[in-house]
Amino acid sequence: MSENTPGMSPQPGPVGPDRPPFERWRTSFPFHWDADELVSRRELLYFTVYASATMFSATFLLAVLGWLRKPAHGEVLAIARIGDVPEGGAHYFDYPGPDQQAVLLHLPGGRFVAYSLRCTHLSCAVYFKDESQELICPCHHGVFQVETGDPVAGPPRRRLEQIALRQEGDVLYAVAIAP
Ligand code: FES
């Protein structure tokens, strides 16, 4: 056994500059392994299992909360009277939930369309620019066509979610998120 075994106090050895540098270092900075709180493999395993279980539970809980808060698609909501939205104009509303912005557009030619204003790239809020008759996402300069909601510029690759409309008299209703 060497004279300075881990777990034991360093044994006094020859003193002076003749001693090897490591021996001198151990004498100057004695380290008592017994006093250290080592993490055993078992404790590390317990920690890993508990941490994984906690993360799994949190993810599961968030998924359940998200599912519970999911708005009902297919709710019927009166949006606007036809005469209130001029041709080439827009009317903003929330659909299908109170915090989900959407826009009703009166296209040149008389047709009405409605879209969710959540950008299909990274979910920024899109807005209608009436000068160019386009739907713009300011985050990364995404541009969507008003007639179809298709992306025409920027990073978005999917069209905006379209909202199905129904007309009763002179009132337009949002009836569902179009498939
Ligand atoms: S979030 Fe709309 S373009 Fe990136």
3-state class (DSSP) for residue 42: helix
Ligand 1 atom closest to Cα of residue 141: 3
Ligand 1 centroid to Cα of residue 175, in Å, is: 26
Residues 78/83/84/88 CA torsion (nearest 10 deg): 110
pLDDT of residue 138: 97
Contact by Cβ (8 Å): 122, 138: no
Contact by Cβ (8 Å): 167, 173: yes
pLDDT of residue 120: 96
Residues of the chain by 3-state class (helix, strand, coil), percent to 5: 25, 30, 45
- Domain residue spans of the chain: 1-36, 39-70, 77-177
pLDDT of residue 15: 57
pLDDT tens by residue, the chain, 179 residues: 444 455 445 555 555 667 777 777 777 777 666 655 667 778 888 889 989 999 988 888 887 776 665 545 558 999 999 999 999 999 999 999 888 999 999 999 999 999 999 999 999 999 999 999 999 999 999 999 999 999 999 999 999 999 999 999 999 999 998 87
- Does ligand 1 lie within 6 Å of residue 122's CB atom? yes
pLDDT of residue 127: 97
Ligand 1 atom closest to Cα of residue 126: 2
> What is the spatial distance between Cα 111 and Cα 154, in angstroms, rounded to a whole number?
26
- Does the pTM surpass 0.75? The reply is no
CATH architecture of the domain with residue range 77-177: 3-layer Sandwich (2.102)
